[in-house]
Every structure is written in C-alpha cells, then in structure tokens.
Amino acid sequence: MPAHTRSTLRGPLRPASVALCLGMGFALCIPQPARPQANPGASPWPQQPPATANGLPGAPQLTLESLPRPAAPPIERLPVVPAQVERWRNEARAFELGDGYPRDPLRAAELYCRAARHGDAESQYSLGWMYANGRGIERDDAAAAHLFAAAAEQGLQQAQNLAARMGTPMGDPPPCLRPPADDLLLARAAPPAAAPPAGRPQRPGAPAGRLPPPPLPPNATPQVVSFVNLVAPEYKLEPYLVLAIIATESNFDPLALSPKRAQGLMQLIPETAARFGVRNAMDPAQNIRGGMAYLRWLLAYFEGDVMLAAAAYNAGEGAVERYRGVPPYAETRNYVRKVLQLVQFRMSHAYDGSVTPPSQLSALIRERMKAPS
C-alpha cells in the first residue's frame, strides 16, 4: 500500500499531542491529547465519579488490555478466490476508517484477518499495525511481529521497515497466518487412487495406486517433454509433476529470468543451483536436472506431500515449516493451486527416504491439515 495511504489511515501527529510509543523497541506511536494547563480554581477535566468500596472509580476504565480481541477466522466452506480476498480487505478498511460504515475496529480486524490468512500483504500489514498500536483491539506485539514479517516477505516496503525493527518473530504464527481450511478442501478434491495391478506389490512411500497421467500442460515443448520423460525416473519423479512445476515456473521458456534472479525452465536461484551442483543454470539440461534434484529432496523432506513440496519449491522449505503449511503469500498460494490443478490434485507422490531425513514438523503439519482451524 502506498505510504500516503497509510499516513491518511493512521492520522498525523498534531503539535498539541504527545506520542505514546508502544513496546518492542520500534517507533509505532499513537497520538494522545496533550493535557491542558491547569486553571486556578477550575479543573479542565470532567470530574471522576466517587471511588467504590474496592477503590476503583464507579465508571468502567478503558485501557489497552480491556479492548476486545478479534475472533479466530471462520472456516471457509468453499475455496477462496483472489477477488474475495480483495473484497475483505476493502471492507475491512472501510470499517477501520468509518468510510461508508459505522467505525468498527473489531469487525475491521476480523476481515483483515481473513484476507491476511489468504496471503494479502496489505491486510497483513494493516492488521499488524492495529495489533501493535492497540487500535480498537487488544494489543499483541507477538502477533504484530508475525504479520509484519509475512507482509515484508512479500515485498511490502512499510512492513519491511517495521519487521527489521522488531526482529525475528517468536513462537507460532497467529491464527490469521495459519493455512486456511480451503487447503484441506484442495486435498479432499484429490481423485481416488486406482488399485495396483494384481500380483504387483506397492513400493514403500508410493501412493495407493496409479492413475493415467494428466494431460500435458499448455505450451509444453516436445523437446522438454521428451527429456523429462527420459530423466525423471533417475530422480524417482513422475514426469507429470516435473512438467507441472516447469509450466508454473517458466511456462516452458528456457530463457526465463525473474526479478529474484531465478533462471531457466525450473527457475533456479543461484543458491539452489549451487546447492544441487548446477554450474550453468541457463543450460536447459542442467537446469532441469537441478530442479528435479531439488524437487526430489523436497518430496523426501515432506514425505511425499505434493502440496507442501510445491509450496517449498516456490517459497522455500523454511517458510513452509514456519507457517506449518502453505505460507500466507499470495504468490505461493496461487502457485500451489496451479500446480495442483495441472497434476489433477494428486496430493501424494512416491519419495526416496534416503535423500534426506524428513522434516521434524511433518507430522505436526499433517495433523493440522486434518483438523482445520
């Protein structure tokens, strides 16, 4: 969100104000009215009601700790499309500012939360600001740190500045950043596996049966398809999954180059290329081999979970572990959805357990996927 929009949202500090700076060592302030000079014989402030027997004033006191806390986001019964996420964000902003709606910070926070969970960086930033400043909701510096970090990881400059001041978030991400229930809906959309041929035992780690391969992705070139069909078995990969990753990464453009320095058909960044022994990432054969080596490693690390492996190929395995599932990045969520569509929602894949030990969080992630929050 442009900086001028945020400054309009939050309001300027007036000369006749003092700033209340909120914890964590960063300069997030909300304006407080300056106390007027006392006039002899008259108090400039309304008189407080007499204290009750327990020493407290008779009227309720409003403090940051007494402010309401937004409810956890509801379970979405249908997959959420980007247009719905944008509507939530716009409606949240209107409730936050009282623009066309009665001002309702709690309702704004709940709508920002729903949009943040589906990867909307602006909603993550706005909700983080509300938590950090106790803006109509209970202050929560830990939740704010996680939300600023998620928005910063998606490239939002304002969030990057605040995340740098707050440091690495501690503890589990808040509910507004946990994988939403429609990830489970995608998993349930997987087609039933076919029974294995009679007399042929199922290999360890393989799905319960085999289905005919999905159609080739659009723009798949015969040369790339032939090479993948030939080489993928060396890496114990199904060619259709490799082709789905290539289609989503580069649309079969061998010269593809991203702003993040990802190169070639499988969009290897220099660090990943070096990690898997690729000397020339612009050489199509080396690029595909390096990408397949990484994909094989990810499938072993996440024990054959195609959704998690695809998310990690796009965002990194660290982000998948940190968020206990598909990270709350709009790009990654769209990426995973496209890959799953191309493989016709085959959610599991055989994997080579000798490549790497599994993630220590794999079991926890699977349990959370079974019980959406």
Q: What is the pLDDT of residue 362?
A: 82
């500090």: which residue's tokens?
13
Token couple for 134: 């106790």
Residue pair 114/124 in contact by the 8 Å Cβ criterion: no
Tell whether the model's pLDDT for residue 198 goes beyond 60: no
pLDDT in tens, 50-89: 444 444 444 454 444 555 667 767 766 667 888 999 999 9
Three-state secondary structure call for residue 303: coil
Residue pair 236/351 in contact by the 8 Å Cβ criterion: yes
- Beta strand extents in 155-239 (DSSP E only): none
Tell whether the model's pLDDT for residue 48 goes beyond 80: no
Q: What is the pLDDT of residue 119?
A: 94
Average pLDDT for 312-339? 95
CA atoms of 82 and 243, how far apart (whole Å)? 25
Q: What is the pLDDT of residue 365?
A: 82
Three-state secondary structure call for residue 238: coil
């400039």: which residue's tokens?
44
Q: What is the pTM of this model?
A: 0.73
The one catalytic residue in 76, 91, 110, 249 is 249
Question: Residues 6 or more apart from 58 whose CB is under 8 A from it?
Answer: 49, 50, 51, 52
Average pLDDT for 344-350? 94
57, β-bridge pairs: 51
Higher pLDDT, 332 or 372: 332
Token couple for 45: 């402030």
CA atoms of 222 and 229, how far apart (whole Å)? 10
Q: What is the pLDDT of residue 366?
A: 75
Q: For each of the domains in the chain, give its residue range(s) and CATH number, in order of start.
A: 3-33+64-177 (1.25.40.10), 181-191+207-370 (1.10.530.10)
Per the annotation, the verdict on 234 as an active-site residue is no
Cα atoms in the 13 Å half-sphere on the side-chain side of 168: 4
Token couple for 73: 């986001």
Per-residue pLDDT band for 281 (boundaries 50, 70, 90) equals very high
CA atoms of 263 and 111, how far apart (whole Å)? 37
Per-residue pLDDT band for 120 (boundaries 50, 70, 90) equals very high
CA atoms of 328 and 124, how far apart (whole Å)? 9
Cα atoms in the 13 Å half-sphere on the side-chain side of 35: 6
Q: What is the pLDDT of residue 183?
A: 66
254, β-bridge pairs: none
Q: What is the pLDDT of residue 363?
A: 80
CA atoms of 349 and 151, how far apart (whole Å)? 31
